[in-house]
């Protein structure tokens, strides 16, 4: 206990945590802004199908990009460890591999999307005007896909080098340029929804251009070189692809859980599914803070592992855990005291409000229950131990699923109890894995010729 208290009192690590967490929290807040601006601008166009096209096309695009979020997480740990070793060559190699992987996935998805879009639009049975406008908007937005995915790789890499201000600068620049260009293209040049799409594409490419310049500035002070011949060897790709694969599977499992909540909620009535959506928005708001601290753990834990610094790794976890607990308690108390206002801000439909009020206690305890899983995600990503993180997610989902079946007669109460159990199991399994690995000295293996004492 005295060691943990001493770690908590180590002020320099508090500063290091918040130097990373603060900008990443602000970065998280900017993520929805592009979609909000697109929708707001489209909402001032004369034709209803224009707004519908931006909503549908934008949703398809953001869903596709979100599924590939592993490009950021998969890059952070490797970059953080290379930074901890002060290995400039490895940092350059990781960045190049991340960008090449982003471009390859973008080109593949662009081809698949163009082939599948007509089928998807036909299945929607929408009006010809809406289908045509959606296709036009989406096809232009696809031109920004390589930039969007490259930004993921760049943000992950920059965070791994403990530079959280650069991702914030990238995202702010993208949003500001997007807003200015949309006003010019839509209201000045009268390009309609094509102007909205073109503005967003240009903004994404400008954002990734800034990211490349910032990455170059970071590498300018670190010696090293790129070996192109290594790109031809499977061994140099295996670890990166394995980590990205495991994070992708983990993300699919998590999205599957949220889909089941929506699906089961829909079976309980329109008001219930709407109320659940409003309540889950509370988890999204909580994630802005907890994810920011988890991002700090990714960078600092990875750096400590690369530098083989056990003390820094322990201090990072103790201090980030303390702040995560405090943040989760603030959100829990906030939802308990002001939850009705949070619901009222999102909807003025009486039936939805009343349904949401009933289940507010579940939202109030959710931040505290979910806190450990966010924190431990950061540890596993920083350590590039994605397989353990994937397994924890799958185990939690498989254990929570039968519980959901057993509690189905309790309606939405049973659904929320199952979800809370899933989040608790996720953190518990990850905690057990982390403890077992610590006992085995697996986080920072001890060389054979080194004494543990």
Long-range contact pairs involving 219-224 (C-beta distance under 8 Å, separation at least 24) = 219/88, 219/91, 219/92, 219/95, 222/86, 222/88, 222/91, 223/88, 224/87, 224/88, 224/89, 224/90, 224/91, 224/92
- Hey, how many other C-beta atoms are within 10 angstroms of the C-beta on 1? 5
Task: Work out the average pLDDT over 292-307.
Answer: 93
**Percent of the chain at pLDDT exceeding 70:** 96
pLDDT tens column, 12-51: 999 999 999 999 898 888 777 777 777 778 777 777 667 7
Question: Per mean pLDDT, which range of 133-137, 196-200, 205-209, 321-325 is the poorest?
Answer: 133-137
126 band by pLDDT with thresholds 50, 70 and 90: low
Whether pTM > 0.75 for this model: the answer is yes
Give the mean pLDDT of 281-295: 88
Please tell me the least confidently modeled range out of 39-53, 61-75, 185-199, 355-369. Answer: 39-53
Q: What φ, ψ does residue 230 adopt, rounded to 5°?
A: -65, -25
Instruction: Give the model's confidence band at 124: pLDDT under 50 very low, under 70 low, under 90 confident, else very high.
Output: low
CA dist., res. 420 & res. 413, Å (int) = 11
**Average pLDDT of every residue of the chain:** 87
pLDDT of residue 91: 93
Query: Does 451 score more than 50 pLDDT?
Result: no
Question: Which 3-state string (H, E, C) describes the chain?
Answer: CHHHHHHHCCHHHHHHHHHHHHHHHHHHHHCCHHHHHHHHHHCCCCCHHHHHHHHHHHHHHHHHHHHCCHHHHHHHHHHHHHHHCCCHHHHHHHHHHHHHHHHHHHHHHHHHHHHHHHHHHHHCCCCHHHHHHHHHHHHHHHHHHHHHHHHHHHHHHHHHCCCCHHHHHHHHHHHHHHHHHHHHHHHHCCCHHHHHHHHHHHHHHHHHHHHHHHHHHHHHCCCCCCCHHHHHCCHHHHHHHHHHHHHHHHHHHHHHHHHHHHHHHHHCCHHHHHHHHHHHHHHHHHHHHHHHHHHHHHHHHHHHHHCCCHHHHHHHHHHHHHHHHHHHHHHHHHHHHHHHHHHHHHCCCHHHHHHHHHCHHHHHHHHHHHHHHHHHHHHHHHCCCHHHHHHHHHHHHHHHHHHHHHCHHHHHHHHHHHHHHHHHHHHHHHHHHHHHHHHCCCCCCCCCCCCCC
Q: Quick one: pLDDT at residue 269?
A: 80
Residues 208-258: pLDDT tens digits? 999 999 999 988 888 888 888 888 888 889 889 999 999 999 988 888 888
């Amino acid at each position: 206990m005295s060691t943990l208290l001493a770690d908590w009192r180590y002020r320099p690590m508090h500063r290091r945590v918040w130097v990373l967490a603060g900008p990443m929290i602000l970065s998280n807040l900017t993520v929805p802004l592009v979609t909000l601006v697109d929708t707001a601008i489209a909402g001032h166009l004369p034709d209803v199908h224009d707004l519908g096209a931006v909503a549908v096309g934008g949703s398809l695009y953001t869903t596709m990009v979100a599924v590939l979020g592993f490009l950021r997480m998969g890059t952070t740990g490797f970059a953080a460890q290379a930074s901890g070793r002060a290995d400039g060559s490895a940092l350059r190699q990781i960045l190049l591999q991340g960008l090449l992987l982003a471009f390859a996935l973008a080109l593949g998805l662009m081809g698949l999307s163009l082939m599948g879009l007509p089928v998807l639009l036909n299945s929607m049975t929408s009006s010809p005007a809406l289908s045509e406008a959606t296709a036009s908007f989406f096809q232009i937005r696809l031109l920004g896909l390589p930039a969007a995915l490259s930004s993921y790789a760049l943000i992950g890499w920059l965070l791994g080098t403990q530079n959280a201000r650069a991702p914030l600068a990238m995202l702010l620049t993208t949003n500001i340029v997007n807003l200015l260009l949309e006003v010019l293209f839509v209201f000045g040049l009268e390009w309609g929804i094509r102007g909205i799409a073109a503005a967003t594409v240009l903004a994404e490419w400008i954002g990734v251009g800034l990211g490349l310049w910032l990455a170059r500035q970071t590498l300018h002070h670190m010696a090293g070189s790129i070996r192109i011949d290594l790109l031809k060897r499977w061994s140099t790709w295996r670890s990166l692809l394995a980590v990205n694969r495991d994070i992708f599977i983990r993300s699919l499992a998590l999205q599957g859980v949220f889909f089941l909540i929506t699906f089961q909620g829909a079976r309980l009535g329109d008001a219930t599914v709407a109320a659940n959506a409003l309540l889950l928005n509370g988890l999204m708001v909580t994630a802005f803070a907890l994810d920011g601290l988890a991002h700090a753990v990714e960078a600092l834990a990875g750096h400590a592992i690369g530098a083989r610094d056990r003390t820094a790794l322990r201090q990072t976890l103790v201090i980030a855990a303390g702040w995560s607990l405090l943040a989760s308690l603030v959100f829990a108390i906030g939802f308990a005291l002001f939850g009705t206002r949070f619901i009222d801000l999102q909807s003025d439909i009486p039936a939805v409000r009343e349904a949401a009020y009933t289940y507010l206690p579940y939202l109030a305890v959710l931040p505290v229950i979910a806190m450990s899983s966010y924190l431990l995600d950061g540890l596993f990503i920083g350590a590039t131990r994605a397989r353990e993180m994937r397994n924890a997610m799958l185990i939690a989902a498989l254990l929570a699923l039968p519980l959901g079946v057993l509690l189905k007669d309790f309606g939405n109460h049973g659904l929320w109890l199952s979800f809370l159990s899933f989040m608790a199991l996720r953190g518990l399994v990850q905690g057990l894995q982390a403890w077992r690995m610590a006992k085995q000295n697996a986080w920072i293996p001890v060389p054979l010729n080194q004494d543990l004492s």
